[in-house]
Amino acid sequence: MFGKRTNDPASVATPKKAAPAPKPVAAPKPAAAPKPAAAPEPKAEAAPKPAAPPKPAPEPEAEKQRSHSEEYYDVKTTVFNALIDTIDLTQLSKLDAIAAREEIRDIVSEIIQLKNVVMSIAEQEELLEDICNDVLGYGPLEPLLARDDIADIMVNGAATTYIEVNGKVQRTGVRFADNAQLMNICQRIVSQVGRRVDESSPICDARLPDGSRVNVIAPPLAIDGAALTIRKFKKDRLRLEQLVKFGSITPQAKTILEIIGRVRCNVLISGGTGSGKTTLLNCLTGSIDHDERIITCEDSAELQLQQPHVVRLETRPPNLEGEGEITMRDLVKNCLRMRPERIIVGEVRGPEAFDLLQAMNTGHDGSMGTLHANSPREAISRLESMIMMGGFALPVKTIREMIVGSIDVIVQASRLRDGSRKITHITEVMGMEGEVVTLQNLVVYETMGEDANGKLTGRHRSTGISRPAFWERAEYYSETGRLSEALAESEVFDEHGNPMGESHA
């Protein structure tokens, strides 16, 4: 019978070689064994291994990838239970990951034979892989974690998992046995950073060993089972060249950004969630000279600076007793006593805005940070309200003057509705007119229409400014030649040959 648990007593306690039946798996396979190629059943091509990024319309394929019949899950439960009865978990934990996997694979193969489970070799192989992942890793999440093309993993209860690939959110066939298994895995993830998630503390942030950021919100707050969100850590952050290749910016805008980074403008990168702010910040740091002392402050270390002289700092959430929290503001304030030449703040969300602006104002030119806003104008008002909410009793005008005196450039990142990411503004903060902060766009992105495939079309163009406000800085670094050229080449002319112009934001 398929998947019925037999009462054969031998099945409970025979880890080693019982029947000589041919083993489906050659023994010395590495942990993440690729699936056999010549598989008899159509289901066998389930291998969701990384490498090739999916084709433009991966939805149905992804769906097929990891969905199994109920029978498969029944068998898996049976085998899993027999395995748990058989192995000594404390012994297993003494083995390294590869040896432990080997051990489990051996025992599971035995169990499958003893129980006369009828399965194709490919299915067996997958079952082995699944069970190893459950016992040793993050269960059904493992294949998703192994893929490099995924930006986010979003688990909405045991039965539903979405991923983001190439800017598009798609549903996968990945599912957990039940909400209890999902909670177990959440628990396993957060316990690695010394935290706990359960009904009494149902919200938790954590990090995977590879640096991916994790948030868990458990029932009863999440009504349909725990919601687990993973922002995957990219081993290789995108570089400006790649952003050019993807059409996020033009080669000229790349040059302008490089100059802005190099000549020590104070830069704010603005954008929505997942719009590419951190990526862009990382790119901008690429043009910092190698003899500068840089201090980075982040909620969880994501930046990958190439310079030799970097000190990386990270905030700390409060512990279970609610003590020991170190905020971004604490870090930024401390930074100032560390003789930084540049301060880089991963994400400005609160009162640290004040300290960052002060730092920018007091000789730490070239400092940078990101912030959540949908336009450069909104970025200014977000900064303003962060400072007001931080309890600094300053008149609005003073706050605005402070912003104008500190920030030189705002770079806006956006994720457009077709999933593509663009740098939509390179904008200078100029000064004040009465109580209003004046902004000047250098480069903007205009969407123009939609092509036959539903992709948005558009173009980047300069607004006709030939001498940005940071011209003197550029002179000091002998960058004016490159700068003028890049700006001139970014101009777009209308059908009468007149420049399109208009720089006021």
Ligand X SMILES: Nc1ncnc2c1ncn2[C@@H]1O[C@H](COP(=O)(O)OP(=O)(O)O)[C@@H](O)[C@H]1O
- Which of the choices ligand X, Mg ion, none does residue 234 contact, using the CB cut-off of 5 to 8 A by kind? ligand X
Stretch touching ligand X by CB under 6 A, among 13-21, 57-65, 181-189, 270-278: 270-278
DSSP labels, 407-472: --EEEEEEE-TTS-EEEEEEEEEEEEETTEEEEEEEEEEEEEEE-TTS-EEEEEEE-S-SS-TTHH
Give the total of residues touching ligand X (CB under 6 A). 15
- What distance, in Å, lies between the first and last C-alpha atoms of the chain? 71
Of 394-423, binders to ligand X (CB under 6 A) are: 421
- The residue within the footprint of ligand X, chosen from 133, 279, 463, 490 (CB under 6 A), is 279
172 binds Mg ion (CB under 5 A): no
Stretch touching Mg ion by CB under 5 A, among 39-47, 187-195, 272-280, 328-336: 272-280
Dihedral sign for Cα atoms in the order 335, 340, 345, 349: positive
Q: What is the SS3 assignment for 150?
A: strand
Assess contact for 364 and 339: CB atoms under 8 A: no
Residue span 219-258 as binding mask against Mg ion, x where in contact by CB under 5 A, dash where not: ----------------------------------------
CA distance 179 to 226: 7
CA distance 430 to 470: 10
> Quick one: 53 or 324, whose CB is closer to ligand X?
53
CA distance 446 to 457: 9
- The residue within the footprint of ligand X, chosen from 173, 274, 431, 458 (CB under 6 A), is 274
Stretch touching Mg ion by CB under 5 A, among 273-281, 291-299, 436-444, 476-484: 273-281
The least CB distance from residue 414 to ligand X, in Å, is 10
455 binds ligand X (CB under 6 A): no
> Quick one: 274 or 390, whose CB is closer to ligand X?
274
The least CB distance from residue 297 to ligand X, in Å, is 15
> Quick one: 20 or 56, whose CB is closer to ligand X?
56
Of 150-189, binders to ligand X (CB under 6 A) are: 151
424 binds ligand X (CB under 6 A): no
The least CB distance from residue 488 to Mg ion, in Å, is 33
The least CB distance from residue 278 to Mg ion, in Å, is 3
Assess contact for 346 and 296: CB atoms under 8 A: yes
Number of other CB atoms surrounding residue 7 within 10 Å: 7
> Which residues are CB-contacts of 323 (< 8 A; sequence separation ≥ 6)?
none
CA distance 163 to 165: 6
- The residue within the footprint of ligand X, chosen from 136, 208, 238, 301 (CB under 6 A), is 238
CA-derived radius of gyration, the chain: 27
276 binds ligand X (CB under 6 A): yes
- The residue within the footprint of ligand X, chosen from 109, 170, 270, 275 (CB under 6 A), is 275
Of 339-358, binders to ligand X (CB under 6 A) are: none
213 binds ligand X (CB under 6 A): no
Q: How many residues does the chain have?
A: 505
246 binds ligand X (CB under 6 A): yes
Stretch touching Mg ion by CB under 5 A, among 92-100, 247-255, 275-283, 287-295: 275-283
> Which residues are CB-contacts of 501 (< 8 A; sequence separation ≥ 6)?
463, 464
CA distance 307 to 309: 6
With 0-12 / 13-18 / 19 or more C-beta atoms within 10 angstroms meaning exposed / middle / buried, residue 45 is: middle
- The residue within the footprint of ligand X, chosen from 254, 264, 277, 473 (CB under 6 A), is 277
Residue position matching structure tokens 């952003």: 243
- The residue within the footprint of Mg ion, chosen from 11, 109, 161, 278 (CB under 5 A), is 278
Binding site for Mg ion (CB under 5 A): 278
Binding site for ligand X (CB under 6 A): 151, 234, 238, 243, 246, 248, 271, 273-279, 421
